[in-house]
Chains A and B, each alone.
Chain A
Amino acid sequence: MSLGKNKVNLLHKNYLHSLTIEKRWVRFHQVIIFLVFFTGWEISSQQRWIDPLLFSSPSKIWNLFLEKFQDGSLLSNLGVTLTETIFGFILGTLLGTLLAALLWWSPMFSKIIDPYLVILNAMPKVALGPILIVALGPGYPSIIAMGAIISVIITTLVVYTSFKEVDPNYMKVLQTFGATRFQCFKEAILPASFPTIISTLKVNVGLSWVGVIVGEFLVSSRGLGYLIIYGFQVFNFTLVFMSLLVIAVVATIMYQLVELLEKKLIKE
C-alpha cells in the first residue's frame, strides 16, 4: 500500500515543523543561560554577595566598554592584537606546511630531525617568550613570533602525517608519466592534503590568540593582553573583564570566519 501524495506532503510538513520547534527550544535555553549568568552576576555584585572590586559587574563593564570605545583606545588596542594574531597564525601555518614539505622531500632529513621535533612539540612554547623579546625587541615582531611559534610545530606534525597518508597509487600514476618529485608534490601530495592544511588553520587561530596574549603580557605596551595585565596591576578588574569579553567575542568571530573559509575552499 502506498501513501497518498498529500499524506506524504503533510508528514513532511510535520517533520519540518518538529525540526523548527526543536531549534527554537535550543535557542531559548541558550538565551536563558546567557541572561541568568549576566543578571545573576549583576545582582550578586550589587547585593555585595561577591566583592564588586574583584568581580566587577556587567553594567560597569558595559559603561567602561562604551567609554573606551568612544575615546578610541579600545579599537586601537584591538587592532594591534588582531593584526598580531592574524599574522601569527598565517605565519605559523605557512611555516609549518613548509617544514612538513621539507620533511616529506627528504626522508633522511625527517629521520634526523625527528627527536628534535618531539622535544620542540612537548615544550611549552610560551616559555620562549622572554628570549624572543630579547632577540627581536619588545614590539610587533616578537609578539607575532610568539603567535606563530606556538602553532608551527604541531602544524608541521599534522600536515606531514597527512602528506604521508596520501594514497601511494596517485604517486604511481604520476611516476608512470615520468613526473619528478616536485611534480608529484605539486600535483598529488599538496592538493590531497589541502583539507588538512585548512583545518589546521582553524586550530591555529585559537593557538595564536594564546601566543599573542601572552606576548602582550610580557611586552606590556599595547593590545588587549596589555589591557588585561595593566588592569590587573592597577587593580581595575572592570578593565580586565572587559578585555576578556572583547577577546572572547572577536576570537569567536575569527574562528567562524576561518570555518566559513574552510567550507568554501573544501567545496571547490
Chain B
Amino acid sequence: MSFLAIKDVHHTYFTKASATTALSEITLHVEEGEFVSFLGPSGCGKTTLLSIIAGLIKPTEGTILLENKPTSGLKNQIGYMLQQDYLFPWKTIEENILLGLKLSQQLNDKSKLAAIDLLKQMGLSGIEKQLPKQLSGGMRQRAALVRTLATEPKLLMLDEPFSALDYQTKLKLEDLVSNTLDAFGKTAILVTHDIGEAIAMSDRVVLFSPSPGRVHKVFDMPEELRILSPFNARNHETFSSIFQTIWKELESLESR
C-alpha cells in the first residue's frame, strides 16, 4: 500500500454560468520519501489537485488516502507552501514560524527550540525578533519553509514556491529545500511550470494535460540525477536530453 494514494479524483467547479471540469480521472501513488513534481501548462488543475490533497477542497468524486486514512480529517500531517511566503507582516519571524505549532496546541519549549534550531540550519540566525519586511525575498521564503516544517508534516506540498524569486536565489533555495527534505526524509510534491526545476528536484515528474486536467505521462528520473543536488543535476549530461523529451511532450499538448 502506498504512502499517498490518489484514487479516481474528479473535480468540477460550479458557477452560475458554467460547470468547469478542472480534474478528471486522476489516479496517482506516491511512496514515502519520494519527491514528485506536477508539471503542466497553466489551467491544468495542478493547484486544485494540491488543495484537494491538502483537504482544503473536497473533490467532486474520488478519495485521497495518506497512510490509508482520508486526508480531509487529518491535521498537520500535510505542510503547504505557497508561491509567495505569506508570512504575516505584523508578526515577528519567531511568531510566524511558531504559528502552526500554536494553532495545533503543540507549542512547548521543546518544539519551540526545534523550530528556532531549524531556522538556524536554514542560515537564518539572529533574525527571530525581526519583521518579515526587514528580510529579503529568499530569506522570507526560507522562513516560510521553516514555518511549514515546524509542525513536522509527513507530506510537504510546494506550490511553485520559487517562482517569485530571482534566478540565483531560486537555484540556491532549490538546493537548500532538496537537502533539507532529504535530511528529514520527507515526502514532497512540487507544483511547477518550470521543466528544469522539475527534473532537477524530483524522483518522478508527472506531466498534466489541460482542460480537463489529466495525467498525461509520468517520467521516472534516472538514478544518477536523483542522487545529485538540483544544481549539479542541472549540469549533468542526461539533464538536457530529459529536458528535450519533456519539452516535446509539452509542445505536443499545446498543439492539440
> Is A187 a contact partner of B104 (Cβ separation < 8 A)?
no
Cα–Cα distance between A191 and B88 once the two chains are bound (Å): 9
Which chain A residues border B151 with CB–CB below 8 Å?
177
Cα–Cα distance between A183 and B103 once the two chains are bound (Å): 8
Whether B99 is near chain A, meaning CB under 8 Å from some CB there, is yes
Cα–Cα distance between A177 and B56 once the two chains are bound (Å): 11
- Name the contact of B79 in the complex, choosing from A167, A176, A187, A188 (C-beta under 8 A): A176
Whether A181 is near chain B, meaning CB under 8 Å from some CB there, is no
Whether B80 is near chain A, meaning CB under 8 Å from some CB there, is yes
Residue of A170, A173, A174, A268 contacting most chain B CB atoms (<10 Å): A173
Whether A169 is near chain B, meaning CB under 8 Å from some CB there, is yes
Q: A176-B78, A176-B80 are in contact. Are A188 and B103 (CB under 8 A)?
A: no
> Is A177 a contact partner of B86 (Cβ separation < 8 A)?
no
> Is A176 a contact partner of B86 (Cβ separation < 8 A)?
no
- From residue A80, how far is it (CB to closest CB) to chain B in Å? 38
Which chain B residues border A170 with CB–CB below 8 Å?
86, 88
- From residue A187, how far is it (CB to closest CB) to chain B in Å? 7
Which chain A residues border B78 with CB–CB below 8 Å?
176
- Name the contact of B103 in the complex, choosing from A167, A169, A187, A192 (C-beta under 8 A): A187
Residue of A170, A178, A188 contacting most chain B CB atoms (<10 Å): A178
> Is B86 a contact partner of A173 (Cβ separation < 8 A)?
yes
Which chain B residues border A191 with CB–CB below 8 Å?
88, 90
Whether B54 is near chain A, meaning CB under 8 Å from some CB there, is yes
Interface flags, A161-176, vs B, CB<8A=1, else 0: 0000001011011111
Interface of A is mostly: helix
- From residue A155, how far is it (CB to closest CB) to chain B in Å? 21
- From residue A234, how far is it (CB to closest CB) to chain B in Å? 55
Cα–Cα distance between A174 and B100 once the two chains are bound (Å): 8
> Is A176 a contact partner of B56 (Cβ separation < 8 A)?
yes
Closest to B144 in A: A173
> Is B103 a contact partner of A177 (Cβ separation < 8 A)?
yes
Interface flags, B108-152, vs A, CB<8A=1, else 0: 000000000000000000000000000000000000000000010
- Name the contact of A173 in the complex, choosing from B75, B76, B80, B90 (C-beta under 8 A): B80
Which chain A residues border B100 with CB–CB below 8 Å?
177
Q: A172-B80, A172-B82 are in contact. Are A177 and B88 (CB under 8 A)?
A: no
- Name the contact of B99 in the complex, choosing from A167, A172, A187, A268 (C-beta under 8 A): A187
- From residue A151, how far is it (CB to closest CB) to chain B in Å? 25
Which chain A residues border B84 with CB–CB below 8 Å?
169
Whether A123 is near chain B, meaning CB under 8 Å from some CB there, is no
Which chain A residues border B79 with CB–CB below 8 Å?
176
Closest to B73 in A: A178
Residue of B80, B88, B103, B151 contacting most chain A CB atoms (<10 Å): B103
Which chain B residues border A246 with CB–CB below 8 Å?
none
- CB-CB contacts below 8 Å: A150-206 with B: 167, 169-170, 172-179, 183, 187-188, 191-192, 194
> Is A179 a contact partner of B103 (Cβ separation < 8 A)?
yes
Cα–Cα distance between A192 and B88 once the two chains are bound (Å): 9
- From residue B34, how far is it (CB to closest CB) to chain A in Å? 20
Which chain A residues border B86 with CB–CB below 8 Å?
167, 169-170, 172-173
- From residue A171, how far is it (CB to closest CB) to chain B in Å? 10
Which chain B residues border A173 with CB–CB below 8 Å?
80, 82, 86
Cα–Cα distance between A87 and B79 once the two chains are bound (Å): 46
Could you list 8 A-B pairs, sorted by A, with CB under 8 Å? A169-B84, A170-B86, A172-B56, A172-B80, A175-B56, A178-B75, A183-B103, A192-B90
B interface residues with partner A (beta carbon < 8 Å): 54, 56, 75-76, 78-80, 82, 84, 86, 88, 90, 99-100, 103-104, 151
The 4 closest A-B pairs by CB, nearest first: A178-B75, A176-B80, A177-B100, A177-B103
Besides A173-B82, A176-B78, A178-B104, 10 new A-B residue pairs in contact (Cβ under 8 A), listed by A number? A169-B86, A170-B88, A172-B56, A175-B56, A177-B100, A183-B103, A191-B88, A192-B90, A194-B90, A268-B90
